[in-house]
């Protein structure tokens, strides 16, 4: 959807839903639901994704928070340690927009890409206003379940993208290198849903194992090594957070190491009989032999990424202080899509899709943005790791906090060390908002029962 239509629709929704400003909890609920999905709705006059709906609803949510905070006498209520990093990132984004272009075609220019600026500023604004809204444990459960479900729904599930294969076509072509690309995202969302459903409820053991098996089958169908690593990291980090004492963490790490060794032994015998996409997704494991086709596909992807990084590295000194920005020429983009395809090196260079989080951040916003972002993530992780080990009033909210904290840390690590894109940052930053709102919700649940509402005991 063109940015000017998006902005007009945003203000229309803000005006239409002015009543929501009196109920910021409703805004929070809707924003959480749409915050992590990439689903597109093609039936509208112009296709729109749920991340764009997140932007529209989130704009109303931000207004609701600021109005609620202003009435109580304090406009911003976020963790004090966040202020410097958040304000610094906002300043960097504004300076980049002023020097490199806004990427909005409101004035009749042919620039595009400004949507990333807007969604990043929105997420940073929500961090500044976070900590003032409180949902009940039941509302959190419903919001997080819907969030995961939307992350699993793709309306064009059988339309291949980026050289992938549709869901139904996969089963007839699975041994010819077919990949169900959406499987990685769906599998991770299903895994996250499994942990959300496990909080405060005794799930049927059969259903538990079926969900886990289904999530890894979908990830295997995608052939995404990153999705496999993300799933393993998420499970490991969650169990480390859940084990409160040091001896429990050591025991878990020892069991995990033994299980990993046993898994490699089993996979060494089983992998050659799996579909090619599964083999491709497991090429990161040591001592596991895969077919020549799976190995060739994996090496081709690595070479493709190295070519991208080799092409963009000479630009780092030029954009070290003031980044290249997110704006790009719309006509050139459409020409490259028609003539070279969506995965062409030229198109990726134009839009800044470098498949490397730190490199993309430096090129687009300068080195200072990477320092500020890492600082913000470090402060947030340190605070919430301490809170996760402390005493909470509502144990269900504490459980949701632990799951989302593990997911947040996993996404941060994969962004830094494995794969990342600047376009992912608005959703990643919003995870901080979710963590802060969970803490606020627990404090408000204590207040409703007349208990002291000081910061949670961090032990």
Are 352 and 360 in contact by the 8 Å Cβ rule? The answer is yes
CB 407 within 8 A of CB 234: yes
11-28: pLDDT as tens digits: 655 555 555 555 677 778
CB 341 within 8 A of CB 384: no
Q: Specify the pLDDT at position 109.
A: 60
Long-range contacts at 93-100 (CB < 8 A, ≥ 24 apart): 93/117, 93/120, 93/121, 93/124, 93/365, 95/322, 96/322, 96/323, 96/325, 96/326, 96/364, 96/365, 96/366, 97/325, 99/322, 99/325, 100/322, 100/323, 100/324, 100/325, 100/327
Distances (CA, A) of 275 to 209, 220, 294: 22, 9, 9
Provide the pLDDT for residue 230. 94
Cβ burial of 380 (10 Å; 0-12, 13-18, 19+) is buried
* Residues of the chain below pLDDT 50: 1, 43-45, 457-459
DSSP 286-321: TT----HHHHHHHHHHHHHHHHHHHHHGGGTGGGSS
- Asked if 324 and 363 touch (Cβ cutoff 8 Å), the reply is yes
Q: What span, in angstroms and rounded, lies between the C-alpha atoms of 167 and 352? A: 29
Residue 365: what pLDDT? 92
pLDDT digits (tens, 9 = 90+) for 376-428: 999 999 999 999 988 898 999 999 999 999 999 999 999 999 888 888 898 89
CA 442 to chain CA mean position, Å: 24
pLDDT of residue 459: 40
Q: What is the pLDDT of residue 413?
A: 95
**Structural domain boundaries in the chain:** 80-448
Helix (H) or strand (E) holding 226: helix 225-242
The C-alpha atoms of residue 36 and residue 54 are separated, in whole angstroms, by: 9
Q: What is the pTM of this model?
A: 0.87
Q: What is the DSSP string of 132-143?
A: S----HHHHHHH
Full DSSP string of 242-275: H--SHHHHHHHHHHHHHHHHHHHHHHHHHGGGS-
Query: What gap in Å lies between CA 171 and CA 356, rounded to an integer?
Result: 32
**CA–CA distance, 49 with 57 (Å, rounded to integer):** 13
């Amino acid at each position: 959807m063109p940015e000017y239509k998006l902005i007009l629709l945003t203000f229309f929704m803000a005006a239409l839903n002015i009543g929501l400003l009196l109920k910021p909890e409703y805004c929070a609920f809707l924003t959480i639901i749409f915050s992590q999905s990439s689903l597109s709705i093609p039936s509208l006059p112009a296709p729109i994704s749920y991340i764009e709906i997140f932007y529209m609803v989130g704009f109303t949510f931000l207004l609701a928070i600021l109005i609620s905070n202003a009435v109580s006498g304090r406009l911003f209520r976020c963790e004090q340690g966040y202020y410097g990093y958040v304000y610094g990132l906002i300043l960097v984004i504004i300076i980049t927009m002023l020097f490199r272009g806004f990427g909005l075609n409101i004035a009749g220019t042919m620039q595009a890409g400004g949507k990333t600026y807007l969604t990043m500023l929105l997420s940073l604004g929500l961090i500044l206003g976070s900590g003032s809204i409180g949902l009940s444990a039941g509302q959190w459960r419903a919001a997080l379940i819907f969030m995961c479900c939307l992350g699993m729904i793709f309306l064009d599930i059988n339309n291949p993208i980026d050289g992938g294969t549709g869901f139904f076509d996969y089963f007839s072509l699975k041994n010819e290198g077919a990949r169900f690309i959406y499987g990685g995202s769906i599998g991770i969302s299903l895994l996250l849903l499994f942990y959300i459903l496990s909080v405060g409820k005794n799930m049927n053991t059969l259903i538990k194992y079926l969900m886990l098996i289904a999530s890894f089958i979908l990830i295997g169908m995608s052939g995404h090594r990153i999705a496999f690593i993300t799933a393993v990291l998420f499970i490991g980090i969650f169990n480390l957070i859940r084990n409160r004492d040091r001896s429990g963490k050591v025991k878990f790490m020892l069991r995990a190491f033994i299980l990993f060794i046993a898994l490699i032994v089993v996979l060494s015998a089983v992998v050659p009989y799996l579909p090619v996409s599964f083999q491709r997704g497991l090429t990161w494991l040591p001592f596991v032999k895969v077919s020549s086709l799976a190995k060739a596909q994996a090496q081709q992807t690595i070479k493709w990424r190295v070519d991208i990084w080799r092409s963009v590295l000479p630009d780092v000194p030029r954009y070290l202080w003031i980044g290249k920005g997110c704006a790009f020429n719309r006509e050139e983009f459409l020409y490259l899509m028609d003539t070279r395809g969506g995965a062409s090196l030229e198109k990726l260079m134009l839009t800044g899709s470098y498949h490397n989080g730190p490199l993309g951040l430096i090129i687009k916003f300068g080195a200072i943005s990477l320092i500020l972002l890492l600082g913000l993530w470090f402060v947030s992780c340190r605070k919430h790791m301490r809170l996760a080990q402390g005493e909470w009033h509502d144990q269900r909210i504490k459980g949701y906090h632990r799951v989302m904290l593990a997911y947040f840390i996993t996404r941060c690590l994969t962004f830094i060390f494995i794969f990342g894109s600047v376009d992912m940052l608005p959703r990643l930053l919003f995870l901080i908002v979710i963590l802060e709102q969970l803490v606020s919700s627990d404090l408000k649940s204590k207040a409703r029962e007349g208990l002291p509402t000081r910061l949670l005991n961090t032990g």
